Amino acid sequence: MPTDSRRVAVITGASSGIGAALARRLGHGGFRLVLAARRPDALRAVCADAGAECRSVVADMTRRADVERLRDEAIAAFGAIDVWVNNAGRGINASVLELTDDQFDLMMAVNVKSALYGMQVIVPHFKERGRGHVINVSSFLARVPLATYRSAYNAAKAALNALTANLRMDLRREYPAIHVSLVMPGMVSTEFARSALGGTPAVTWVASGRGASPTVQTADDVAAAIESLIASPREELYTQPGQSETVVRYFQDVGAFERGP
């Protein structure tokens, strides 16, 4: 079994966007990596760019067997896993009244089930080791309805937020060295918007009177925030200034917030 002391990170949805940027940052920072996504060529290219000891695993995170295989291949390659990042996700452009059953089910599978499977397969390994870090990449939109055309995506991420918090509470007392973190980016310039089902409208944020118009972050901006979270674990991380204040304003008076100025 490998005895290298360098930390091992598994990143799903790693063929582009935030996952790829995080892989490059962690790889250059000395992590050994196992990257998962459905596109083999793009995944291998990210591994090559990471400048690290890296394995790519072609997998569909909505299939439990694929997620189990990802864990097993990572442990076989490096002996253990220290950090598991559930980053796979996809958006859709459809309001609540326009959603079809298939669209809603797809959003739940890609954005919630994939992370649920990740948590269920990796936490037993972390329990055996007595330590580890699960990071679930969610969205600011799971907390505040500022882009209603992403309704099913926002709902799925809200479900992910709840699962994350419940897992953290379940582990907190008996396994204090197993960290469970939620990351909530805002608007990020990645392939995500372009690959969203139905595209992305030109107007992408309802801002006036409800919160400052957001700065569009790069994938590397978010990856840097996650890298800092790995170094200093905490429960939740908003990646843009002002997001937490907007959430507080929303929940203090939902009606006033939604009515705007």
37 with 47: CB under 8 angstroms?
A: no
The number of beta carbons lying within 10 Å of the beta carbon of residue 135 is: 25
Q: How far apart are CA 226 and CA 48, in angstroms?
A: 21
| Three-state DSSP class for residue 237 | strand
30 closest CA partner among 46, 13, 8, 15: 8
Mean pLDDT of 105-124: 98
Do residues 162 and 206 make contact, with C-beta atoms less than 8 angstroms apart? Answer: no
The arithmetic mean of pLDDT across residues 33-48, rounded, is 96
Q: Which residue's structure tokens are 């960290």?
A: 179
The model carries a pTM of 0.90
Does pLDDT of 212 surpass 60? no
Instruction: Please report, for the chain, the start and end positions of each structural domain, with discontinuous segments joined by +.
Output: 8-259
User: Residue 158 carries which side chain, given as an amino acid letter?
Assistant: A
d(CA 19, CA 23): 6
* pLDDT at residue 256 tops 70: yes
Q: Any idea which residues carry the catalytic annotation?
A: 153
* Per-residue pLDDT at 107 exceeds 80: yes
pLDDT (0 to 100) of residue 180:
98
Q: What is the pLDDT of residue 1?
A: 43
Options 3.40.50.1000, 1.10.132.10, 3.40.50.720, 1.10.510.10; which CATH number does 8-259 get? 3.40.50.720
Mean per-residue pLDDT for 174-202?
74
Q: 95: Cβ–Cβ under 8 A, 6 or more apart, which residues?
A: 148, 149, 151
Number of neighbouring beta carbons within 10 Å of residue 227: 17
What confidence tens digit (pLDDT) does each residue in 124-164 have? 999 999 999 999 999 999 999 998 999 999 999 999 999 99
- 44-98 per-position pLDDT tens digit: 999 999 987 999 999 999 999 999 999 999 999 999 999 999 999 998 999 999 9
